[in-house]
Structure 1
Amino acid sequence: MSDTVDSNAVSLEQEELRGISRTVAEIEWLLLVLVLLYYAFGGGHPEDKAAIVSGLLAYTACIMGFRYTHFFKRESRWKVAVETWIMTAFVTWSLWHTGKLDSPLINSYLLVIITSALTLGKITTLLELALIATCFVLLGDYDSIGELTSLSSLGGVLAEFAPFILVAYITTMFSSDIRYGLNKAKLMSESDDLTGILNRRGFAILADRLFGQAVRYNRALSILMIDCDNLKQVNDDFGHKAGDVLLKDLVKSIQGQLRYTDVLARHGGDEFVVLLPETTAAGALDVAERIRRAVDQMHAGGNTIHTTVSIGCAVYPEEGRTLDALMSGADRNLYQAKSLGRNQVVR
Structure 2
Amino acid sequence: MPSAPQSHANPDQTLFRLLAATVGADKAALALTTLTIDPALAGTGDTVSRAQVAMALNAALFADLLDRVPTAQRYIDTVRAAGETIVFDHGALRTIDGETGDLPSGHMAFGRFLAPLGYEVGGLYPLPKLKMTGRAYVQRDLPETIPQFFVSELHVDQLPEAAQGACTNVFGTSKDPLGKDEWAALDTIASDGVCTFDTAVTALKGALACFERQHETPALADYELLLPETKEGAWIATEGNAFNHATTRTADVLALSDTLKDAGYPMKAAVEISQNGRVRQTAILADKVVRPFREADGSDVPLPVPGSFYEFITRDIDPETGKLDLTFDSGNATGIFAVTRNA
TM over 0.5: no
- The structure whose residues are more often helix, as a share, is 1
Larger relative CO (CA 8 A, sep 6+): 1 or 2? 2
What is the TM-score of this pair, normalised by structure 1?
A: 0.26
